[in-house]
Every structure is written in C-alpha cells, then in structure tokens.
Amino acid sequence: MRFVSAISLETEPDRIAQDIRDQLAAEGPFDLIVVFVRPQTDLAGAEILSSLHEQLAPGRFIGCTAGGVVGAGREIEDDTATAVLAARLPGVRVDPLPDLDDDAVTLETDDLQACIVLVDPFSTATEALLHRLDQLAPGIPIVGGVASWASAPGRNRLVLDGEISNAGFVGVTLHGNVRVSTIVSQGCRPVGDWFTVTSSRSNLIQELDGKPPLEVLQQVFAEAGADDQKLMRSGILLGRGVARQPDDLGHGSFIIRVVLGADRESGAISVADRVREGEYVQFHVRDAQSARDDLEMLLTPQVFEDTAAGALLFTCNGRGERFFGERDADVEIIGNALGEQVPVTGFFCGGEIGPIGSANFVHGYTASLAVFRPGAGSD
C-alpha cells in the first residue's frame, strides 16, 4: 500500500495537470486519486478536474472544489491551489456509491471498511444522506466534507471518475485489505454539568431537567470561571450526547451544535439541530487552545499503531490561520502524531463528515481525519 501527496500552485488547468503528473509520475499507476481544487473560477474548477482525470487515469477518481486545500504538509487557504492524494491499494476494491434515491438499492457491506463522501450543500441534505448510508451500512465509518468553493447554488464542482457535476454528492466505498482509523476532533470543552431534555420541539429546547433552558444556561455561566465566561459571551455550543446512559457520557460522546438564540419570555433556546426529549446535553465552549489540545489528545493512540500509509483531512473553513493565529496548525499536529513522512491531503470544508459513536454526522469547526493502513494479512 502506497500513498503520495502532491500539491500545485499553478493557476491554469493544463499546467496544474502537468505539474501534478510530474510529481506523481514515478509512483503510479494508482487505484484511487482524491483531489481538491481551489480554482480561480467555476469554469476553471471543472477544467482542472477534467484535465487531472485525463492525465492521471486512475482506477477511481473523486474530488471537489474547495475554499482552501491541504497537501504536502501545507494548508493553503486564500490562494489558487490543487491538492491530490494518490494511492496504490493492493487487495482493496474501490466502488462508487449506488443511486441512493432508489428505495430498493442496497449497499454491499462484505469487507466494507469505510466510505468517502463529498457533498454539495445547496442541493443535498447532508444529514439525510448520512442517515440513509447508516441504514444501508450500519456501523461503517463515513468520512468526507461539504464542498466549500461556492457561495451560491450550481457553482461547486464534484467529480467521480470522468463525470463532473455541479450538484448532488459523490462517494466511494473501500472494501478489503485496508484499515481505516477515524478521528473527529470537535475542538471544544464542556462547561457545567450535563442535563436531560425534558421538553422540546424540533430545534427548540423548552425544558432542561424541568427548568427553562435559559435559566439553566445563566446558572452555568454564573458558576463558570472567568476564561469560560469570556468564551461564552462569544458563542455558546451545545453537545448532544450519543450515549444511552449518562455514565457513558465523556469526551467524544457529544455532537456539538451552535446555540442560535433564546426567548427571554419562555426561557427556551434554539439549537442548530433537531433535539429530542430524553437526550442528554451539555453546554460547551471553543477556543484555539482547546482545539489544539483536543486534536492532540485524540491522535495520541496513533503512536501505538503501525506507521500509517496516508491520511485524508476534512477541516472546517472556520479553523486555519484565522482561528489558530498561524498557518498549518492542523497538519503540524497530525504530522507530529503520525510522522512527517505520512502524506496528508484534504480541504477546508463547509461541514465535516465523520462518525461519533456508531453513527455518522456532519459537524462544524471540526477536524475529521481518516488514517489508512494495510489490513490484516498484508506483507
């Protein structure tokens, strides 16, 4: 199993394709190429993807346009750039996802190790898509991201093999001789205790432990330290617990969502997600140091694993230099954990896809990482 990361800062489609091909020439042919493009224009994005597919001719080719890319140890946020992760995958079958609009469709789960999915946000309900895939392949990790180049419908570009679209989603499944470790770093920390949702409607929480949520939140604020109070003034987050029992709640067992607002008269709060009665929730805050600490901690077990072959990173477009105050923060942390020689490629997403517990979700302000190693039985 062999992965290679390449990056080009060229701006013209033909020159980009030639640059990437020159970087990869000694390593091919490839079974899978994943590509992310920050183009100058919508049309250029399509031309770059088409030229790369034609020049590289891999077994499978998947990618999208992005607001920023990651590759070859660099994070490039505001300049034209193209990042590629190319892989030779002996003993691995890479299949395209089937038509999920067909209610009768099935997904082959024999030896299925993971799915990679890229989504256009203007035409696809990402949570519904993930729910459908969870039904078809329970317990299988899905990693990916929401295309982030465009600010209006029809302007993103997605590619699967030679077919380019400006809507929908693209995805592949990985079967066979590959191990995929997933890390989902939501980069925040809890404040206060956890509570039970005792009354809710859609994304509106009306009671927590029988009390108005705004009253509960004000109490959490009053008991928090000065640093946490400062962060809470900048924005409140709510973690939805995925555990069935409160004793199982801990780090990594919450799906983090933004608190959108509160109604002073009723004391209800609204959240950027549907919340159900009986769920366990906890308020959270986020800052750059918490994000660093969280990613470093979640990557710590990787030192006990065999050397990784490669990795895909789906990081939020709200992270990067503007958040951390320096460039390449995520890739530096990942390189320290996996080894600088491990190729890492990815993009800055409009939503990051990864598993929490046994289900898959779309996240925000998150770094979702897939680490690839040969499966059991490899030489």
- Separation CA 367–CA 332 (nearest Å): 13
Identify whether the C-beta of residue 178 lies closer than 8 Å to the C-beta of residue 376: no
State the amino acid at position 141 in one-letter form.
P
Could you give the CA distance from residue 183 to residue 139 in angstroms, rounded to a whole number? Answer: 15
Q: List, in order, residues 6 or more apart from 329 with CB less than 8 Å away.
A: 75, 292, 319, 320, 321, 323
pLDDT single digits (tens) 2-13 = 999 999 999 999
What digits encode the pLDDT tens for the residues 197-237?
999 999 999 999 999 999 999 999 999 999 999 999 988 99
Helix or strand run (H / E) with residue 126:
helix 126-136
| pLDDT band of 247, cuts 50, 70, 90 | low
Closest CA to 242 of 216, 273, 206: 273
Please state, as a whole number, how many other Cβ atoms lie within 10 Å of the Cβ of residue 106. Answer: 9
The C-alpha atoms of residue 64 and residue 148 are separated, in whole angstroms, by 9
Q: Is residue 187 very low, low, confident or very high in pLDDT (cuts 50, 70, 90)? A: confident
Poorest-confidence range of 14-23, 101-110, 156-165?
A: 101-110
96 beta partners: 172
pLDDT band at 312; cut points 50, 70, 90: very high
49-72 pLDDT per residue, tens: 999 999 999 999 999 999 999 999
* Residue of 157, 143, 180, 133 whose CA lies nearest to 63: 157
What pLDDT, on a 0 to 100 scale, did the predictor assign at position 234?
Answer: 87
Q: Which two tokens stand for residue 144?
A: 């990916």
Instruction: List the domains of the chain with CATH numbers.
Output: 2-185+291-374 (no CATH), 188-286 (2.40.10)
Compute the Cα dihedral for 374, 346, 111, 89 and give only its sign. Answer: negative
| Residue 263 and residue 280 in contact, taking contact as beta carbons nearer than 8 Å | no
> Where does the pLDDT of residue 127 fall: very low under 50, low under 70, confident under 90, or very high at 90 and above?
very high
Q: What are phi and psi of 274, to 5 degrees?
A: -80, 130
